[in-house]
Structure 1
Amino acid sequence: MDSTPFAPQDTIVAISTPPGRGGIGIVRLSGPDALTVAGALLQLRHSLDAPQAHARATFARVLDPASLRSSGPERTIDDCLVTAFHAPHSYTGDSLVEIAAHGSPVILGVLLRGALAQGAHSGLPVRLAEPGEFTQRAFLSGRLDLTQAEAVHDLIAAQTLQQARVAAQQLGGALSRRVAPAKDSLLHLIALLEAGMDFASGELDDVEVVPPAQIALYIEGARTPLAALAATFQRGQLLRNGAAIALVGRPNAGKSSLFNRLLERERAIVTPIAGTTRDTLEEALSLDGIPLRLIDTAGLHTAASDAAEQQGIARTYEALADADLVLHVLDATQPVTEDDQALLHSLSGRPHLVICNKVDLAEGEAIPDPLLSVTSLATSALTGLGLDDLRTAILAQFNAVGSLAEEGLLNNLRQQQAVTETLSALATAEAANEAGLPHELILVDLHHALQALDTLTGATTTDDILGRIFSTFCIGK
């Protein structure tokens, strides 16, 4: 990425609130002419350029576009609050204005079209913002690094409070702070080796300026925190993207009842008739802040009676194949069947839990012999017995009990690839140092590691990466 300061030539405008009607709607402008264009759309008591106007919400009125085109008196169509942020002390690093009016699409449309028309009339470069362009400008102007910019998207997309907490930590620079010690160690070693090479190029060619043991120490100083960071990827992905949990088992084992109990509402139809569930049913569930996709499925058995039931079973197998965790539900009042044993065998090597449901009806009977060697959970969807233990076991399967409070998690593939590439380059440099290779060759690997690490925060990146990241944002952010 070019290291020169970002200086936008045009002013962008967008509606920053979701489509539709609401109590409040916000139109946002950013760019060199944002204050001028916004001022032309509003009836203001004080100029937005005034020093005291910075970061202060001010009452204003939205001008009727008809009065803007005539020489008659000004007419207004709405009241609003306008907040101006003067460059460089704004979200984007440039002049920025936010107009909060009543959330009628008509009013917001007037402001949006008025800004574009004012630009065209005055010869000012004003255009609609691209997706994520406000945040991209914040990144390019140095107000955010790339991990913080990604956290803006994660915060907007958060579906649970824990997701919002982690996104807020990332936005505050938690991930950047975790990377900083590794980068400092790497930069220090590169400086030592390059200075040593300059010294050795003089008369004292045989002087070993930086001994191999010291080089190894600095490489380890960079590798250790990055290896710990790389280990957070699975947890970060889980928290960001969630996981799919499928309840499977034979008909009438109580899968739908457990499904409803975990959701804490009656979502699936439950009857005493076996085979009531004919299709997969999915619902979102938050468990200790982890977003989960809970899937109820049709009962599995080999004697499907009709085409609809056969299709339901086929969809059960599809859900089973895609699930991150399988809950194998057994009926504690019935003997274990060959179908049960076959399903249990097929789950070997996959994350799964065996659940003996309906224990309230089993009258204290022991778990059937074929499952004595299998760790299972006793539950009752009717009474709620064992549900807390089931929730704890689910979290344990995802290694999530008490581990998500850690700050600065890797939570997307781009971040994980950057750290992995850095560790690979450090490993190559370490091998070169152990082999006694010249410092020039070690430096090649160290610079490769530094460049890979810089792609994590965006100190070095490419336009196509930026395009992929910011294209996922909404227009007004």
Structure 2
Amino acid sequence: MAEQEDIAGETIAAVSTPPGRGGIGIVRLSGPHALAISNALLALRNPLEHAMARFAEIRDPETGGKLDEAIATYFAKPRSYTGEDLVEIAAHGSPVVLDLLLRWALQQGARLARPGEFTERAFLSGRLDLTQAEAVRDLIDAQTLYQARTAAEQMGGAISRRIQPAKEKLVELISLLEAGIDFAEDDVDLTPDEEIGTRIDAVGAELAGLARSFERGRIVHSGLTLAIVGRPNVGKSSLFNRLVERERAIVTAIPGTTRDLVTERVSLGGIPLELVDTAGLRTTADEAEAMGIAKSREALADADIVLVVLEAGIPPSEEEAELLASLHGRRFLAVYNKIDLEDSSSGQGHAEEQSIRTSAATGAGIEALREALLNMVRTPGGESESGMLTNLRQHEAVKSALDALGDARAATANGTPHEMILLDLYSALRQLDSLTGETTADDILNRIFSTFCIGK
């Protein structure tokens, strides 16, 4: 506790905009002396007031002349991002000016902020829970608009709101058991085991739905990898270029042109999708091509989705048939390319259940291919689902809470004393606390005394 108080007593400062030149650059200060230090740095026309932007001049420390103009905004504690006094100085984005402001702030008694320390202080002051703090990082790292929207929902407490009903039910159950144990002399009845089991099941059902959201949330957060594989000269690189909408991979009529993995990241329905164009799969004596083929097989093994490109009008070879068979149980799509060159007298050849017919040369079938891929990246829950678990820590916490509830349910069915059942219930509560914030003993006692007229 003493260490936290020492941290709170320090004022921190940092440049809060990316390195380099820009139209605007921001220096941020947070802590008990943020206001005083800012007043020393700036020539203000009007005093800084909470949530009011003020025009200011930055003076040259050597000549006293005006060096730059800035807008300073002050947020008084606790109504700031960090829960402390916070000042943001928005000057022109000159690295020289921003560095000067930061050095002046440090000379006035501020300390250089550690990476992530502003958000850490927001968490320590109770302005954010851990899921909201993680969402700040996710928003910064977002590569698609859908990722940004999801992170914004998480920053607004979407996960906490989704967990809260289950947590309320769990705290209520804990309060019932505690009251029955501690206040038996006040005629508070023990909760029947059947009711305990029913209440545990209700909490578990809500958390199970949240745990299932991780399948979708993981994909939204991290994206998927799609490997484009097939024998040489079936049009893999041409399809790759069509999907990324530019000439990214070299295309020639010479088999074996692609000898290394070519990757590009695109957005498909808001999901980041890393496309991997691979070397044609075949037996070769060329050492460089053989190394590329080995990398292709590694990419094939690691990919979340596999696009197997075949030539329309030509039955799959034995090697291609084996490749398709090896993908059973995985997400894959067979693409019959070069339909523009297909001989109508030859028929359409072998057709897979999951297959699309395309022409990378003319663009025919490309939109159908995109739609088929979009259907493959969709998961149960849909894009409108709010409060998805987006990282492994969150999923493990909910899973551990479910495991503890399962233990409590089994103990109840076996007639275990309520004192022992409470151990499992508190274990589940601790896991949920790691996501939404701590439940204190006072929270439990307040629930007990507000529910039962004890000691009246």
Normalising to structure 2: TM-score of the pair? 0.92
> Secondary structure of the equivalent of 1:231?
helix
8 Å Cα contact 2:334-2:352 kept in structure 1: no
Q: Per the alignment, do residues 19 and 7 of structure 1 end up closer, same or farther by CA in structure 2, a change over 3 Å counting?
A: closer
8 Å Cα contact 2:214-2:390 kept in structure 1: yes
The one-letter code matched in structure 1 to 2:11 is T
Matched, 1:381 2:371: no
The one-letter code matched in structure 2 to 1:46 is N
Distance in 2 (CA, whole Å) between partners of 1:448 and 1:366 is 64
> Secondary structure of the equivalent of 2:314?
coil
Distance in 2 (CA, whole Å) between partners of 1:318 and 1:396 is 25
Matched, 1:356 2:346: no
Q: Which residue of 2 aligns with 1:161?
A: 145
Q: Which residue of 1 aligns with 2:242?
A: 261
Identity of aligned residues (%): 57
Q: Which residue of 2 aligns with 1:36?
A: 36
Matched, 1:114 2:104: yes
- 1:148 maps to which of 132, 143, 151: 132
8 Å Cα contact 2:263-2:274 kept in structure 1: yes
Cα offset for 1:221?
2.0
Q: Which residue of 1 aligns with 2:450?
A: none
Q: Which residue of 2 aligns with 1:471?
A: none
Cα offset for 1:390?
1.8
Pairing 1:203-218 to 2, within 5 Å after superposition:
209-218=190-199
Cα offset for 1:305?
4.0
Pairing 1:190-209 to 2, within 5 Å after superposition:
190-200=174-184, 202=185, 209=190
Matched, 1:61 2:62: no
Distance in 2 (CA, whole Å) between partners of 1:373 and 1:271 is 27
Q: Which residue of 1 aligns with 2:294?
A: 314
Cα offset for 1:30?
0.4
> Secondary structure of the equivalent of 1:66?
coil
Distance in 2 (CA, whole Å) between partners of 1:220 and 1:362 is 59
Give unpaired runs (5+ residues) of structure 2. 441-456
> Secondary structure of the equivalent of 1:301?
coil
> Secondary structure of the equivalent of 2:23?
strand
Cα offset for 1:203?
8.8
The one-letter code matched in structure 2 to 1:334 is I
Give the CA RMSD over aligned residues: 2.1
- 2:408 maps to which of 418, 429, 432: 429
Q: Per the alignment, do residues 38 and 425 of structure 1 end up closer, same or farther by CA in structure 2, a change over 3 Å counting?
A: same
Residues 313-339 of structure 1 deviation map (CA, whole Å, 9 limit, x = unaligned): 111112112111110100114332122
> Secondary structure of the equivalent of 2:73?
strand
Distance in 1 (CA, whole Å) between partners of 2:75 and 2:353 is 63
Cα offset for 1:359?
1.5
8 Å Cα contact 1:282-1:296 kept in structure 2: yes
Pairing 1:165-180 to 2, within 5 Å after superposition:
165-180=149-164
Pairing 1:274-423 to 2, within 5 Å after superposition:
274-302=255-283, 304-364=284-344, 365-368=346-349, 371-372=350-351, 374-400=353-379, 403-423=382-402
Distance in 2 (CA, whole Å) between partners of 1:355 and 1:389 is 11
Q: Which residue of 1 aligns with 2:445?
A: none
Cα offset for 1:392?
2.4
The one-letter code matched in structure 2 to 1:362 is E
Q: Per the alignment, do residues 271 and 402 of structure 1 end up closer, same or farther by CA in structure 2, a change over 3 Å counting?
A: farther
Distance in 2 (CA, whole Å) between partners of 1:158 and 1:229 is 22
Distance in 1 (CA, whole Å) between partners of 2:214 and 2:16 is 31
Distance in 2 (CA, whole Å) between partners of 1:408 and 1:363 is 52
8 Å Cα contact 2:313-2:347 kept in structure 1: no
- 2:90 maps to which of 100, 113, 127: 100
Distance in 2 (CA, whole Å) between partners of 1:6 and 1:175 is 31
Give unpaired runs (5+ residues) of structure 1. 68-73, 120-125, 462-477
8 Å Cα contact 1:65-1:110 kept in structure 2: no
Cα offset for 1:347?
1.8
Distance in 2 (CA, whole Å) between partners of 1:151 and 1:159 is 14
Would you identify which runs of 4 or more consecutive aligned residues in structure 1 move more than 3 Å?
Answer: 4-7, 363-367, 371-375, 399-402
> Secondary structure of the equivalent of 1:216?
helix
Cα offset for 1:78?
0.6
Residues 260-313 of structure 1 deviation map (CA, whole Å, 9 limit, x = unaligned): 1111112111122222212110001100100010000110012x1411111111
Distance in 1 (CA, whole Å) between partners of 2:414 and 2:371 is 49
Matched, 1:248 2:229: yes
> Secondary structure of the equivalent of 1:235?
helix
Q: Per the alignment, do residues 396 and 402 of structure 1 end up closer, same or farther by CA in structure 2, a change over 3 Å counting?
A: farther
Q: Per the alignment, do residues 28 and 383 of structure 1 end up closer, same or farther by CA in structure 2, a change over 3 Å counting?
A: same
Distance in 2 (CA, whole Å) between partners of 1:208 and 1:97 is 55
> Secondary structure of the equivalent of 1:139?
helix
The one-letter code matched in structure 2 to 1:116 is L
Distance in 1 (CA, whole Å) between partners of 2:347 and 2:156 is 53
> Secondary structure of the equivalent of 1:329?
strand
Give the number of equivalent residue pairs. 438
Cα offset for 1:6?
9.7
The one-letter code matched in structure 1 to 2:371 is T
Distance in 2 (CA, whole Å) between partners of 1:425 and 1:326 is 38
8 Å Cα contact 2:10-2:31 kept in structure 1: yes
8 Å Cα contact 1:84-1:96 kept in structure 2: yes
Distance in 2 (CA, whole Å) between partners of 1:430 and 1:293 is 43
